[in-house]
Amino acid sequence: MTSNYTISNIFFATMSFTTIIFVVAAAIVGAALAFILMKVFNRHDISDDNREQAWQETKSQLAKLTEANEQAEHDKARLAKDKERAERLLKEATERMNILDEQLKSAMTDGKVDAKDVAQFADTEKLEKEIKKLKEQLEDTEDELDEQERKLKKKTTEFNDLQSEKSKLDAEHKRIIAELENVRTELKAKREELNMKMQTLSFVQSILSARNLTSDNIAKTEENIGLVESFVQGLFLNSLNYFYTEGLLECKGKQGQEAQTLTKEYFSNRFVQWAATKRKSWLDGKTTIAFIGEFSAGKTSIVNRILSQDNQNVPLLPVSTKATTAIPTYISGAPSTTYSFISDDRRKRLEESVFKMVSKEVLDNVSGISSLIKYFVMTYNNPNLNGLSILDTPGFNSNDAEDSERTIEVINECDALFWVFDVNVGTVNKTSIELIKSKLQKPLYVVINKVDTKSNNEVDRVVKLIRDTFAREGIQVQGFIRFSQKAPLAIIMEPIKHVSRDTTRDSLLGDIDSWLDSLDSTMQNFVKAANQEYQSHTKQWNQIISEINRSISTICQNCETARSIPHWEEHFFSSDRYEMSAGEGSQLISLLDNIAGNNMDNLVQLINSATDCSSAMQQAYTHYRDMMDARALVEKCKEEFNRIKKHFK
């Protein structure tokens, strides 16, 4: 029974191995066909999709072939074990046969054969037949195994060739995959660039289609400011120039010229400050501070903390990790949250969704952004911003020189400046020092930012270095503030709340009013004095004329008396003639002497006095008329200014 079971196992193992060999052969043939098709595809320059499909099919066939090959090797090993087991059983059967033969010979020699021996002999014959049959099957199996090994060797060679081709295909596939990855990377970059362009385009479209804020008529405000500017630069300063030139203010000469220049500069500068405040209604009546400094010092991050009060739901100003074109941004307290921008001297509404699109990268993609947006203006219902306006500025060392110029233009409108330094920079560069000394004329606070990135000793060293540098350069600092994103907000808010508002920015109209009232009073006094002088000369003139009239009357009387002294006498015996007595002759001579002497000298003297008085009176009258004209000029200024002031009530 044992022998029969073993032989059956050997037979079925041989049949299983044969089946596997056929499966492997079929797989190899399929792989070969796939490889041939792949080569055909390559020769015909198939598309990337077909090449990918062919490569995947080849890869799949090779995987199946590899699996079948491994299974064949496994079955071959199992068949070898079965062969070894069959050989061992054959050996055992042979040895048993030998034993039985010996027993048979012994029995025949002794002549003793029992039933057991007969049965064993019968089994021996049967065993011999099975052994013979087993030998034949083993021989057939060995022959078949040799044939299958030969075929497997051939297929293995083909498999290796196909594997070599696959390696080439793998290399080509990797190259294509690498190229595809590069294309994908470029495509991703292009897609991001396109998205940025689309976002920029959407932003620009929103800016161009933005509606004007009806509550803030910038055009009308600008028109009214223009009226004041025309008045100040025209009638008002021309009047002052006239008063200085005529010596009605200060004095003539060098001092008058200096006073005239200083007055002109005073009102010109005051107008610029006043106009800047009026143009920016969000600054009117508010304390204004500016965060300034070099790029990436953390200015905007500080402003965002003030805005949000560490509430992440509040829309924040855009922050960038690279220097880009930026726009000055005003943030003011108001009853409601609004977003707007100034463009073409108009204040336009900015929707919150558009504001959230704003980034410095987007702005950097818009050529000529300053022509579209001059300033951003944000208002927030934020207790930290009550009565306060904050200006966030571009960095002074950003890539665009326009940023610095625009920043310098607006920061001097503020009441105080907060210069932010990055503690990691550790020092103040010369450019910043020169800028502070030459351009910035406002109270200055120094904020040492990001102090949480350094130890206390390192921060102390940086603060001392900056403090010593400013002291050496003669720059006055109101205070040094250490700050970071982890520091309490009160550290920065307390100094801000103590900034004093410069009220002179609002006093232009009041100053002009005071000047005009003072000029009017001065001109009234000048007119009164000139009139008094003219009246004095007029009175003197009248007195002189009276004296002249009396002198002429005296001369006339003397002439009439002298004319009456010679009297006409008619003679009978002689010709008629004028006659006078000796006394009458003496009287006539005396009268003529008076007329030609004292009377005439007195008259000439009076006439000369009258001429001098007339000249003085004319000069006094001219001066009086000049004073009247000067006062009329002041009154004209007051009338015009009162008309302009009505636009600002």
DSSP string for 417-479: EEEEEETTT-S--HHHHHHHHHH--S-EEEEEE-GGGS-HHHHHHHHHHHHHHHHHTT---SE
The total number of residues shown for the chain amounts to: 649
Two tokens, residue 612: 């001098």
C-alpha radius of gyration, the chain, whole number: 61
Say what the pLDDT of residue 240 is.
80
Say what the pLDDT of residue 251 is.
47
Say what the pLDDT of residue 48 is.
54
CA 495 – CA 484 distance, rounded (Å): 15
DSSP-based three-state secondary structure for 284: coil
Q: Which helix (H) or strand (E) holds 392?
A: strand 388-392
pLDDT tens digits for range 211-270: 877 655 666 777 888 888 888 888 888 888 777 777 776 544 445 555 666 777 888 878
Say what the pLDDT of residue 531 is.
93
Two tokens, residue 351: 């929707």
Say what the pLDDT of residue 39 is.
47
Cβ atoms 641, 512 nearer than 8 A: yes
For the question of whether the overall pTM of this predicted structure is more than 0.75, the answer is no
Say what the pLDDT of residue 293 is.
80
Say what the pLDDT of residue 310 is.
64
pLDDT tens digits for range 67-112: 766 766 666 666 677 667 767 777 777 777 777 677 667 766 665 5
CA 308 – CA 298 distance, rounded (Å): 15
Q: Look at the block and give the residue holding tokens 């008396």.
A: 561
Say what the pLDDT of residue 116 is.
60
Residue 423 phi/psi, 5° resolution? -60, -25
CA 386 distance to own-chain centroid: 25
Q: Which helix (H) or strand (E) holds 598?
A: none
Low-confidence ranges of the chain (pLDDT < 70): 1-59, 61-62, 64-65, 68-69, 71-79, 82-83, 86, 100, 103-104, 107-125, 127, 214-219, 249-261, 295, 310-326, 345, 358-361, 363-371, 394-407, 649
Q: In what order do the strands lie in the sheet with 388-392?
A: 346-349, 338-343, 375-380, 329-333, 388-392, 287-293, 416-422, 444-449, 479-482
Q: Look at the block and give the residue holding tokens 């969000």.
A: 282
Say what the pLDDT of residue 447 is.
92
Nearest to 377 by CA among 362, 404, 358, 399: 358
Say what the pLDDT of residue 561 is.
86
CB count, 10 Å around CB of 455?
9
